[in-house]
Amino acid sequence: MERGERAKANFLKGYNCAQSVALAFADVVGLDEESLLKAVSPFGGGFGRLREVCGAFSGMTFVYGCVFGYADPKDMQSKKEVYADIQDMAEKFAGANGSIVCRELIGVKGKESPVPEKRTAEYYKKRPCAEICAAAAEILAEKLALKGHIN
């Protein structure tokens, strides 16, 4: 199963967007699945349903950081490379989806109640999130493959 298909299937199982994308790359992150899912859980709903940066995009950047992030605050070359790659992926993500901002992607005005919506057939019909998760995972997979980290 391709990474995009995995991410979409994860969303359809009930994981939030960040979890869906990150879980599709659990094999490359270096964390057990439970720790991974917990670490990215607050990113769903554009950071706790604040509807800011899309959870799928946040999940992408989390995985990227686990694989290629820097630890030395003085390593300016690594910082530059990380930021350049994130900006490149943001451009591709926005190009594919229209934005990297959750509220713009799903058509809501802003912050919502912290109570998540029930995942019903109607919910899945009105939300593009499953497809956005798939697109995010494919963009990330392409970047990881270009950098020789996955096939």
Structure letter (DSSP) for residue 32:
-
For each of the chain's 151 residues, which pLDDT tens digit applies?
A: 699 999 999 999 999 999 999 999 999 999 999 999 999 999 999 999 999 999 999 999 999 999 999 999 999 999 999 999 999 999 999 999 999 999 999 999 988 899 999 999 999 989 999 999 999 999 999 999 998 888 6
Structure letter (DSSP) for residue 128:
-
Q: Which residue has the tokens 């690594």?
A: 78
Structure letter (DSSP) for residue 49:
T
**How buried is residue 48: exposed, middle or buried, by Cβ count under 10 Å (0-12/13-18/19+)?**
middle
Whole-model pTM: value is: 0.95
